[in-house]
Amino acid sequence: MKVVLFCGGLGTRLREYSENIPKPMVPIGYRPILWHVMKYYAHYGHKDFILCLGYKADAIKNYFLHYDECSSNDFVLSQGGKDVQLLHTDIHDWTITFVDSGVHSTIGQRLKAVEKYLEGEDIFFANYSDGLTDFPLPDLINHHRAHQRIASFLCVKPGQTLHVVSTLSDDIVSDIQPVHNTGLWINGGFFIFNQEIFKFIWDGEELVEEPFHRLIKEQQLVACKYNGFWACMDTFKDRQMLEDLYSSDQAPWAVWQRKLR
């Protein structure tokens, strides 16, 4: 299955980085978060990627054009540096299609921009480039196929530090609860779409807003609920949390490392 990744946003809440590099290139450890998302899919055998580029697209293109395998793999150096023998590789069997989908395009427009590269794909993945999880991907595929609907996505609990507030008509607070106690679920990305999805996306639209509501009306949208690890790198604080997990060898999303431990 091909994997469409939305990589064109401005990332304004990560301004510490986004003024110089696009949000998907913000690093976690040795590699940008985009690489971590791609590595997750590749671990499960899905290595044909379509990148929907926009803001600072050249930074993403140049990163992969000049990809250095040695940064995150063991290797043997000999002959005074003239010969480098890699002991492991990352992306040698990946196929990556780079598509400029517009700097100010919506997610729906970005998906429509790559429709022609998905011809012949009965179903395909799509995702943001800033979300990470340890959810077993084959289970998501099985969930989608079992429901026989046009679209499905991972449904997760929001951040543990948030609180939901209820008020009376005069703004007096009647209740305040940690968000994880309220039964609230949010869109976690990690979409699976049938080809029919393109019939529900009209020009200039977002993906989750208008098209998803059309799917809901026809009962063609399914949520796969997950209580395990999921995180989105929206702010500098989020980035630091992910960096701390990775640097301490406790990154749940790094499913490709489990066989090495």
Residue 166 located in a structural domain: no
Residue 98 located in a structural domain: yes
Domain CATH number, residue 135: 3.90.550.10
Residues 216-233: tens digit of each pLDDT: 999 999 999 999 999 999
Residue 261 has pLDDT above 50, yes or no: no
Residue 214 located in a structural domain: yes
Residue 165 located in a structural domain: no
Provide the percentage of residues in the chain whose pLDDT is more than 70.
Answer: 94
Residue 245 located in a structural domain: yes
Quick one: pLDDT at residue 258? 78
The one-letter amino acid code at 65 reads L
Residue 259 has pLDDT above 90, yes or no: no
Q: What number of other Cβ atoms are within 10 A of residue 215's Cβ?
A: 20
Residue 11 has pLDDT above 70, yes or no: no
Residue 174 located in a structural domain: no
DSSP string across 43-90: HTT--EEEEEE-TTHHHHHHHHHT--GGGSS-EEEEGGGTEEEESS-S
Residue 204 located in a structural domain: yes
Secondary structure of residue 207 in the 3-state scheme:
coil
Domain around 94: 2-76+84-155+185-260
Total domains, the chain: 1
pTM of the full predicted structure?
0.89
Residue 121 located in a structural domain: yes
Instruction: For residue 79, give both structure tokens.
Output: 């002959």
